[in-house]
Amino acid sequence: MAQSDRSPHAISPPPFPDGLDSGPVTLRRFSASDADCLVEAGTDADILSFTSLDQLATADEVDHWLERRGKEDADGTALALAITEDGEALGAALVLRSDLAEASAEVGYWLLPRGRGRGLATYALLGLRDWCASAGFQRLSLVTNLDNVATQRVARRCGFQAEGVLRSYGFDRYGRREDVLGFSYVVPGCEATR
């Protein structure tokens, strides 16, 4: 996770454990054995519509994605974890951006179709949220496509509060500016005081 020297509240999160259980799912780092999951995700219309995941259709593309995620993990700028059930990778839970000086991070997730509709996303996001809180993060944000109602429900179930539409927040995969719905989770005891 990226760090600067501008805040006395800066954190140095510990490394993510080898595996983290959250209800029926385990979060762990991705490995080459997860290639089928990544190829399936990189060709799933919903994942491609609602996330920034690259289109991954070949072994070389998967290898490049895994290498890039490994570098981000090693240098502390991001973290990509496989969401597994009974050892099978069904999705990803992600720390996409972090600001260690401000003890804040943006999180996200995606699930393959066979993992949806069973509460697995909720368990995965709760596990990631709780690890982030234990690692010292005080504020988490999550952004979702305005049409991704399922993720909005998961965010609310995990204690994230809608903050509103963030206009022209970023670019979609076609290079067009897009509005998103922003959510935040503030760790209890870290709320702003007036």
**CATH, residue 63:** 3.40.630.30
Reported as a single tens digit per residue, the pLDDT across 57-71 is 888 999 999 999 988
Note the pTM of the prediction, 2 decimals: 0.90
Measuring CA to CA, how many Å separate 170 from each of 13, 23, 78, 86?
A: 27, 33, 18, 36
pLDDT (0 to 100) of residue 139: 97
Phi and psi at 143, nearest 5°, equal: -120, 145
Q: How many domains does the chain have?
A: 1
180 lies in a domain?
Answer: no
Per-residue pLDDT at 1 exceeds 90: no
11 lies in a domain?
Answer: no
pLDDT (0 to 100) of residue 188: 94
189 lies in a domain?
Answer: no
Under DSSP, is residue 51 helix (H, G, I), strand (E, B) or coil? coil
148 lies in a domain?
Answer: no
Per-residue pLDDT at 116 exceeds 70: yes
Reported as a single tens digit per residue, the pLDDT across 26-53 is 999 999 999 999 999 988 999 988 988 8
Reported as a single tens digit per residue, the pLDDT across 84-109 is 999 999 999 999 888 888 999 999 99
| Residue range(s) defining the domain that contains residue 96 | 20-138
Determine contact, residues 66/53, Cβ cutoff 8 Å.
Answer: no
168 lies in a domain?
Answer: no
Pairwise CA distance, residues 108 & 154, whole Å: 11
Reported as a single tens digit per residue, the pLDDT across 122-161 is 999 999 999 999 999 999 999 999 999 999 999 999 999 9
Distant-in-sequence, close-in-space partners of 7: CB < 8 Å, separation ≥ 6 = 101, 102, 103
Distant-in-sequence, close-in-space partners of 146: CB < 8 Å, separation ≥ 6 = 165, 179, 180, 181
145 lies in a domain?
Answer: no
